Amino acid sequence: MTKLWLFLKQIVSSQYLSFLLRYYLGFLFITGGISKISYPSGFAETLVSYQIVPYWSVNFFAIALPWVELVCGVLLIIGLRTRAVAVIISILLVTFATGLLINLIRGAPIYCGCFSNSGDRINWWDIPRDLLWVIFAIQIFFFDRIFLLRRK
């Protein structure tokens, strides 16, 4: 049992796992950002349907948030400031999960808006998915040691 525990601990704390998770989350956020950048008005409508962002700030978030996602994804992939990006991504994902939870409790029949302005309606499986991605970001924060653009 101790050997199994040590083996699992070695896998979870692996810098190579961080490298893979960085690429996974990076491409995920690039995909999500690009799909929203193309249609900011559609994304603004999705934000309005969540009813958690103040109405006066919807346009700002509809334009800024996709670019934040895109930049964070690119920075993860190239390995620049990965710890800071992991924190930003964790905050975004917890915010997204909270918004989903609030609207699921309300029973609002809205669309996720995660990777496009249309798509599937929100469901209870979206929350564990986002929280799993938070765990990925936490692993990157603590164990990422492979830097492609390291300063010397």
What's the burial of 69, exposed, middle or buried (CB within 10 Å: 0-12/13-18/19+)? Answer: buried
Give the per-residue pLDDT at 152. 43
Which residue in the block uniquely carries the two structure tokens 């919807």?
Answer: 58
Count the Cβ atoms, other than its own, within 10 Å of residue 115.
14
Write the single-letter amino acid at 41.
Answer: S
147 phi, psi to nearest 5 deg: -115, 130
Let me know the angle formed at the C-alpha of 29 by 23 and 34, rounded to the nearest 5 degrees: 125
Distances (CA, A) of 18 to 28, 55, 103: 15, 38, 32
Helix (H, G, I), strand (E, B) or coil at 123: coil
Q: Which amino acid is at 9?
A: K
The Cα–Cα gap between 145 and 3 comes to 24
d(CA 17, CA 65): 27
- Give pLDDT tens digits along the chain (152 positions): 677 777 667 766 778 888 899 999 999 999 999 988 988 888 888 889 888 889 899 999 999 999 999 999 999 999 888 899 999 999 999 999 999 999 999 988 888 877 765 667 888 888 999 999 999 999 999 888 766 555 54
Kindly state the helix (H) or strand (E) to which residue 141 belongs, with its residue range: helix 126-143
